[in-house]
Structure 1
Amino acid sequence: MKNKFTLKLSVYLIPVLLTMMIASCKKDHNVKIAEPGKYENGFFVVNEGWFGHGTGTVSFFDYSKGTLTDSIFTKENPGKTLDPATSSLEFGTVYNHKLYLLSKAGGPLVVTDDLSLKEIGRIAAATSNDWRAFVGIDNNTGLVSTGDGIYPLNLQNVTLGGKIGGVDGEVGDLIKAGNYIFALSQSNGVVVLNATTYAVVKTIPGLEVAFARSKDGAIWAAGGTQLVRIDPATLVVQVITVPFTVNGSWGAWHPGSITASTTENAIFLAKNGPYNGGTQVYKYTAANAASFTTPFVTVPTGKEMYGAGLAYNEKLNQLVVSTVKSGYGTNYSVNDLYFYDPSSGAQSKDISYTGYYFPATFVFH
């Protein structure tokens, strides 16, 4: 009887199990695996553009191809531009999978998808615009620095709110850490804001180049003959003496020529001139008392950094440096993108290209 019962049960169960397996397979076939974004496997170079002759552009360095492709924003957005030609595209950053592009001197603030570069919002160009930098606060709000103070930005509809009190004049780089927002002010150095109320809680004068976030979470800035480490929880400041003058870029602002490693507590700082880019990068670590004795990287003879000039690429653990040919005029059309080992300072690659791009900064996913 037991065998007959088992046989009968099997007759009924097997079709049911087969049906369930087929249905499961069909469901599996309907699962779609997200394809890599067109601009996912690489990083962006934000270019100022040749003032008065054309707008800024966005280039893309492809890791797999080892090539640099220019003007990807206009290629992906036919009919849309970063005009006017008298503006300078100076800043870019990725926040919540969106690329924010900001122009000085009347240009637009543009938001795109960071993988496709398709535009999803903008504040149109206007003579009153004078953008500097952007930092995200949460899913709905960001802050934008300008030639006159800081403003909240609604991230859902890309609209500007009223000016934040307590911070006037030109403001450049921004970074958020914990409960605070750090802003670089031309008149007051580093201004620390409460991240919720935007009230000013501290100022650190004398600083002109910012910001970097080291592996331990500390925030770094520099100016004059000092490099400072700011504890983002207590706001305690540690000052390290630098044996040369750290110059800012307020006369023709660009993002700060300072960056940090994520594999060690190391800060990379460019030694720029007061009116031009430098040729040397120094690497500071607390463990190395001779950090500023000799430069960590010296770019090839006849070249000088332009714009921010350097950035740390966390994905590939590389120090990336952009240069133009030293001098003026047609020299600005001679560009190089150098890649250095952040541990040894050895150069691993050089991408040479021509054109009046005037590279401002790098943007990584």
Structure 2
Amino acid sequence: MRSIINKLSVFMMMVFVAVIAISCEKDEDIPPDTGLDYGDGIFIINEGAFNSGSGSVTWYNREGAGRIDNLYQKQNSLVPLGNTAQSMNVINGVGFIVVNNANLVRKVSLKSMQQMDQLENVNLPRFLIGTDNNFAWLTTWDNKVIVFDSENLAIIKKITTGTGPEKLLEVGEEVWVLNQGGYSIDSTVTIIGKQSMEVKQTLMVYPKPTGIQVDKNGLVWIICSGHGWNGWPDPTDSRGHLVCVDPSDYSVVKDLEFPATDQHPEKLEINSTGDILYYIYPGGIYKQETNAQDLQLTKVVNRSGVFYGLDYHHSSDVIIACDAGDFMQNGWVFRYDQTGALIDSLEAGVGPTDVCIPK
């Protein structure tokens, strides 16, 4: 009798697990094994709760439908993406996902989201770009830029920068690296020769440079947040600045100062024609025309609080903003047209921070 009861209990447990599994699948419009080319869609990089190991990738098709959560994990035998996913970029049709606290970069197929290789033992990696010589340039919080071959991941050189390098950008024959400060504050930009891989110049700007773009005239724009953090006012806070630099001689063409010491601009994107900049500022998303002589503070998107991430999709001229919420439950990604009209809102994972649209 006990044997029958035990068998019945096991059977009921199996049914219960199956029901739970089926109910969980209903949250997603498309299962991950449909043979889709994921490279045709939208990848949302979610940090996850800090130190939880729950970084993830949320996928949507280009129309903002067919959501798949935890895409990387599902396509890689349930192996977690890693602790604190930071950013994603594409080099020569291949995806690179930077996982900060796990000290690694995952090289993945865009079509399948299956891992092809990984770069390990890089100290707190942050952001990555590819240059036209097939090299990848990666910022790390041990104050280095690591240059590696995007094909075989062989490290070519480690270049010393300022403190806490973050965003970086290819500017002609140079790579400009923003030194945000890591756990402290930095106010510099390290300029590196692309071919020599040597530091050519260290440009002094303002505290916490967080975004960099090149306009249609080839001028470099850098946004600096200033001392302090939004929502945490302190007597040591300083004003943010939007600085325009001529890369031919590193001279400052414009220096636009923000009005308040306790409100800090963050991130920087530019439209497809290279004449309008977008940035995050308390109250929403703002824009700046590159030919304007003064700071315009023109609000495009009205929102209480501060967005966590900002991207711009040049093929469709769409502004993309990440709202991380409380880092305990799912956040959201919002898409807007150039006028600030909401196109749609996409539910993400925990702590959405970056959006990658390969095509």
TM-score exceeds 0.5:
yes
Give the corresponding residue for 2:229. Answer: none
AA at the equivalent of 2:178: L
Relative to structure 1, the CA distance from residue 65 to residue 111 in structure 2 (aligned partners, 3 Å threshold; closer, same or farther) is same
Q: 2:129 aligns with which of 121, 125, 135?
A: 135
Q: 2:140: which partner in 1?
A: 146
**How many Å separate the matches in 1 of 2:257 and 2:291?**
15
Against the structure 1 CA distance between its residues 234 and 364, is the aligned structure 2 distance closer, same or farther, given a 3 Å change threshold? farther
State the 1:70 CA deviation. Answer: 1.7
User: What's the counterpart of residue 197 of structure 2?
Assistant: 198
CA contact (8 A) 1:284 1:291 kept: yes
The answer to whether the 8 Å contact 1:242/1:292 transfers is no
The offset of 1:37, in angstroms, is: 6.4
Secondary structure at 1:75's aligned position in 2? Answer: helix
Alpha-carbon distance in structure 2 between the residues aligned to 1:114 and 1:139: 21
- The answer on 1:189 being equivalent to 2:188 is yes
2:102 & 2:115 partners in 1: Cα distance?
19
- 2:298 corresponds to 1:298: no
1:266: how far off? 0.6
Is the contact made by 1:281 and 1:295 (CA closer than 8 Å) also made in structure 2? Answer: yes
Task: Tell me the matched-pair count.
Answer: 300
Shift of 1:47: 0.9
1:282–1:291 CA contact under 8 A, matched in 2: no
Asked if the contact 1:82/1:108 (under 8 Å) is kept, the reply is no
Matches within 5 A, 1:104-115: 104-115=100-111
- Work out the percentage of aligned pairs sharing the same amino acid: 20
What value does the CA root-mean-square deviation take over the aligned residues?
2.7
Counterpart in 2 of 1:8?
A: none
Q: Within the alignment, does 1:88 sit opposite 2:71 as a pair?
A: no
Name the structure 1 match of 2:40. 41
Deviations 1:124-149 (A, max 9, x none): 4x5x6311111223454222110111
- The separation in 2 between residues aligned to 1:70 and 1:341, in whole angstroms, is 25
Distance 2:80 2:147 in 1: 24
Specify every segment of 5 or more residues in structure 1 that has no aligned partner in the other structure, as ranges: 1-35, 249-255, 272-277
Residue number in structure 1 paired with 2:69: 70
SS of alignment partner, residue 55 of structure 1: coil
Residue equivalent to 2:276: 266
What is the rounded CA distance, in whole Å, between the counterparts of 1:324 and 1:194 in structure 2? 36
Cα distance in 2 for residues equivalent to 1:233 and 1:289 = 20
Q: Which structure's CA Rg is the greater one?
A: 1
CA offsets 1:289-310 (integer angstroms, 9 cap, x no match): 67534422112x4x6412xx21
Deviation at 1:96, TM superposition (A): 0.8
Who is 1:283 aligned against? 287
Q: 2:245 aligns with which of 215, 227, 230?
A: 230
Q: 1 CA distance for matches of 2:112 and 2:330?
A: 29
AA aligned opposite 2:310: L
Residues 174 and 116 of structure 1: is their aligned pair in 2 closer, same or farther, counting only changes over 3 Å? same
Question: Does the CA contact (< 8 Å) of 1:180 and 1:232 recur in 2?
Answer: no
Residue 117 (1) aligns with residue 119 (2): no
Amino acid at match of 1:146: T
How far off its partner does 1:319 sit?
0.6
The 3-state SS of whatever aligns with 2:158 is coil
Q: 1:183 to 1:65 in 2, by over 3 A?
A: closer
| 1:97 matched to 2:107 | no
1:312 partner amino acid: Y
- 8 Å CA contact 1:43, 1:60 repeated in 2: yes
- Seen in structure 2, the aligned counterparts of structure 1 residues 323 and 79 have a Cα distance that, compared at 3 Å, is closer
Quick one: which amino acid aligns to residue 305 of structure 1? Answer: F
Report the Cα distance in structure 1 between the residues aligned to 2:66 and 2:296, rounded to whole angstroms: 34
Structure 1 residues 335 and 67: alpha-carbon distance in aligned structure 2, compared to 1, 3 A threshold: farther
Q: What is aligned with 2:220?
A: 219
Question: Kindly tell me: are residues 197 and 360 of structure 1, through their superposed partners in 2, closer, same or farther at Cα, counting changes over 3 Å?
Answer: same
Secondary structure at the aligned position of 1:92 is classed as strand
Alpha carbons 2:58, 2:348 under 8 Å: kept: no
- Aligned positions of 1:313-324 closer than 5 A: 313-324=313-324
- Whole-angstrom distance in 2 between the partners of 1:194 and 1:59: 36
Distance 2:130 2:298 in 1: 37
1:192 CA drift (Å) = 0.8
Residue pair 1:189, 1:204 contacting (<8 A) in 2 also: yes
